[in-house]
Amino acid sequence: MKKAIYSIFVVGLFFLFSGHANGQCNPEQYTDACIPKLASGFNFLKSYKIDGQGGAKTKVEYSYVFTKGTQYMINVCATGSSTDGIVVSLYDSNRNQVATSKVNGQYISAIAYPCNTTGIYYIQYTFDNSTQFCGGSALGFKR
């Protein structure tokens, strides 16, 4: 009986702590940090939470209609000054890749995109050797 109770206790603790591990991501702190990092002249539009749920999610995706003649900036913030392996990729409405922030093994923290084609674009965040699977991003625009 004591063994059974002990097992329940151990299993209970496991669920308790695994629940905490998944709930640790606080993307707001990163989105808040990301908004002021938009380059001068860009107006803030949206902030995006990047919560990979401790690695359970392989990608986080949002979409937005970009307008011809407008320049957009997307930046990524994570723990410390790095992007913690978070890669942002931009796809057009036909799912053609327009940009990805990983170049030659280097993670770029901001993309500027002067849009020539009005349409729905997909902003996709993936995790590449990420330790926290947690970050934030901001989208801004200027004409």
Partner 1 sequence: MRILPLGLILIFIVACNSSKKPDEAAFLEGLDSAEVEGPAISEEVISSIIQQIPSPLEISVLLKESGTKYDRALLNSPDNISKYNSNYRKALNLGIYGTDLGYTNIYEQNQDGIEYMSSIKELADNLSIGQFFDIETIGRLATNSKNLDSLLLITTQNFNNINKYLQEQKRANLSVLSLTGGWLEAMHITCEVSKKNPSNKDLKETIGEQKIILDNVVQLLSFYKESDPNMASLLNDMEKLQKEYESVEIIKTYQESTFEIVDGVMVIKDNSTSEIKITDENVENIRSIITSIRKKIIS
Provide the minimum distance between the beta carbon of 133 and partner 1 in the complex, in angstroms, as a whole number. Answer: 21
Burial level of 11, CB count in 10 A (0-12/13-18/19+)? Answer: exposed
What is the C-alpha separation between 80 and 28, in angstroms, rounded? 15
Question: Of these, 7, 18, 24, 67, which contacts partner 1 (CB under 8 A)?
Answer: 67
Interface region with partner 1, contact rule CB under 8 A, candidates 39-47, 51-59, 76-84, 126-134 = 39-47
Number of H helices, E strands in the chain: 2, 10
Interface region with partner 1, contact rule CB under 8 A, candidates 52-60, 77-85, 102-110, 127-135 = 102-110
Which residues, other chains included, contact 74 with Cβ-Cβ below 8 Å and sequence gap of 6+? 88, 90, 110, 111, 113, 123, 137, 138, 139
Interface region with partner 1, contact rule CB under 8 A, candidates 50-58, 78-86, 90-98, 124-132 = 90-98
Q: Is residue 117 a contact point for partner 1 (CB under 8 A)?
A: yes
Q: Is residue 129 a contact point for partner 1 (CB under 8 A)?
A: no
Which residues, other chains included, contact 36 with Cβ-Cβ below 8 Å and sequence gap of 6+? none
Q: Which helix (H) or strand (E) holds 52?
A: none
- Contact residues for partner 1 (CB under 8 A)? 2, 5-6, 8-9, 12-13, 16, 19, 35, 39, 43-47, 62-70, 73, 90, 92, 94, 96, 98-99, 101, 103, 108-120, 141-143
